[in-house]
Structure formats: C-alpha cells, structure tokens
Amino acid sequence: MRAYHLTATGAEARLTDLPEPIAGPGQIGVAIRACGLNFADLLMLKGTYQDTPPAPFIPGMEIAGEVISLGEGVTRFAIGDRVAVYSGQGGLAETGVFAASRAVKLPDEMPYEHAAAFQIAYGTSHMALDYRARLQPGETLLVTGAAGGVGLTAVEIGKLMGARVIAQARGDDKLAVAKAAGADHLIGADEDLRARVLELGGADVVYDAVGGDLWKAAFRACNPEARLLPIGFASGDVPQIPANHLLVKNLTVIGFYIGGYLKFRPEAVTQSLTTLIGWYLEGRLKPHVSHVLPLDRVEEGLALLRDRRSTGKVVITP
C-alpha cells in the first residue's frame, strides 16, 4: 500500500510503499477513502505534539472508509460497512487497521469526505462546548481563529446551542465564512479584540484555538464566571494564565483534549459523534471542506494548514 510514512523523529516524512497491515484482536481493517488533516498532524511530524506516537508511524488522525477485514472478537461491524474512525494515526495511507471501539457506522447519505472532515473538528467543538463548558442558550461565545478547522465548527455548534457568537478571524474572506456558519458578530485581525468584545457585552465562554496575544485579549474581555477553553495554539505561543485574575473575576479555565478521552472514556467520543451524525442527517450541520487532494499531494495539503491558507478542512483521498 502507499503511505505517507515518518521513519524517525526529525526525519522528513515521505510517500512510500509499505506492507498492508493485518487486523488484530478488537481491530478492523479499513480501505481508507478519505483522511482529514489537522494542525496536530504538523506538530506530530515535528515531534512536538502532546500525544506523538513513537516513530516510525503514519500520520492522519481521522479517517472514513470501508471495512475490509475483522479482527478476532469484533462483532459490531461487517465486511463492507462504511465507517468513520478517530484513528489518532495511520490515516494517510491506502489501508489501515484501527481499534473497533473508535469506529462508528456511517449512513449512506454522508460522503466519505464529509465524514473524514467531521470527527475531530465537530467532535472537539461539541464535547468542549457541551460536555465541558456547559454553554447555555443566550450566552455569548467568543471563537478565535473562527474560520479554521475547529473554529468554524465551534461557530456552527455554538449557534445551534442557542448562543450569541462572536467570531474572530484574519481577512474578509475568512470572516465571510464564519458569518455563513452563523456568527452574529465579526472581529478582524486589525481590530482591538478586547475592546470590541466588551462593547458587545463581554464573553461568557471563550473557545480559543490560537493562543498568544489573542488569548490575552480574550481573557481580559470575559464576564464574571466566564469559562475559557484553550483548544489550541496555532500562534505558537502557549499562554500563561494569571491565577490572581481567575480569582478576582471568578473565571474558570477548562482543559480539554478530545484525544485523551480515547484512552479513558472512548464511548464519550463515539456517543458525541453519533449525535453529530444525527444533526448532519437533519441538515443542521454543513461541513466546510475547502480542499480535497489525492495522497500524492499530501504535502501541499499540510502546507495549506501551516500557512493558514485553508478555511474549514483539508481532506486527503487515498
């Protein structure tokens, strides 16, 4: 099979031919039809992601495809089933084997490209806003990096949950994408985020995928008892949190990493995904895929993320 393979930490990943993997106990073999790219893939390739597997490995954290083999003890799936899998790794290849506990069946109405673009971005936003932050109807949600892969889904899901959504993004085209996803108010990169959010009444929940100065400004624009979710650090600057400010304004910073749930409570992830697929079938969610590229253009897809030139998701189709 063809795969985008990293042989050693610090080396360059390359497209190469590898033996097809064999499904072990509790695993399913999948012909991979689509793999969603994530900023975490870039960090994983550099060895700086918090959950980087030991080399050698194949990156690609979320896939959709067709079951082609069953490991011992697997009864929930059959050969030919369409599935989505939060794989964690192994997605940038023509085939892969994955834990059956991480997979859900896909309805025929959902294209593989949408399913592969769906899991991490929508799953992160749904679990973060609902399960962790307990976002309530009528509250104000501030989303930074609102046109990115996860930010855009936070806008969409926040609006579905009844929040008033303030979206921050870089450039008119990205702000237009956030507005189309349901944002009520837009803030450009050249505006004073703190001042604008305070003018709009302050934030009750902050969903920050950027970090750095944007986090600092969002932190200072919070209402008392606001909840802040540090989802990612696309700026490269991991913010430090002043505990005395948390105390004075009764703020709560909530740690959330969806991949961690795969280790201690995978059913929470699959339950969330089942809910989200239901919303998709009802027409309430519309995944935004800006680029669909073949496997031999995977480095082009990763560059789109690295240079922040994509809106929504980039999907590779092995």
Cα within 13 Å of Cα(152), Cβ side: 26
Round to whole Å and give the CA distance between 30 and 32.
6
Q: Are 100 and 134 members of one domain?
A: no
Count of structural domains within the chain: 2
Round to whole Å and give the CA distance between 158 and 142.
9
Q: How confident is the model at residue 260 (pLDDT cuts 50, 70, 90)?
A: confident
Q: How confident is the model at residue 138 (pLDDT cuts 50, 70, 90)?
A: very high
The four Cα atoms 172, 145, 36, 275 give a dihedral, to 10 degrees, of -110
The string of pLDDT tens digits covering residues 154-202 is: 999 999 999 999 999 999 999 999 999 999 999 999 999 999 999 999 9
Is 166 within a domain?
yes
Task: Name the nearest CA neighbour of 265 among 256, 254, 252, 278.
Answer: 256
Residue 149 confidence (pLDDT) above 80: no
Q: Domain range for residue 67?
A: 2-118+287-317
* Phi and psi at residue 104, to the nearest 5°: -130, 150
> Whats the size of the chain, residue-wise?
318
Round to whole Å and give the CA distance between 42 and 37.
9
This prediction has a pTM of 0.84
What is the bridge-based pairing of β-strands 140-143 and 164-168?
parallel
Q: Give the CATH number of the domain where residue 64 resides.
A: 3.90.180.10
Residue 31 confidence (pLDDT) above 90: yes
Q: Are 39 and 130 members of one domain?
A: no
**How many Cβ atoms are within 10 Å of 123's Cβ, its own excluded?**
23
Q: Identify the pLDDT of residue 59.
A: 97
Round to whole Å and give the CA distance between 315 and 36.
5
Q: Are 141 and 111 members of one domain?
A: no
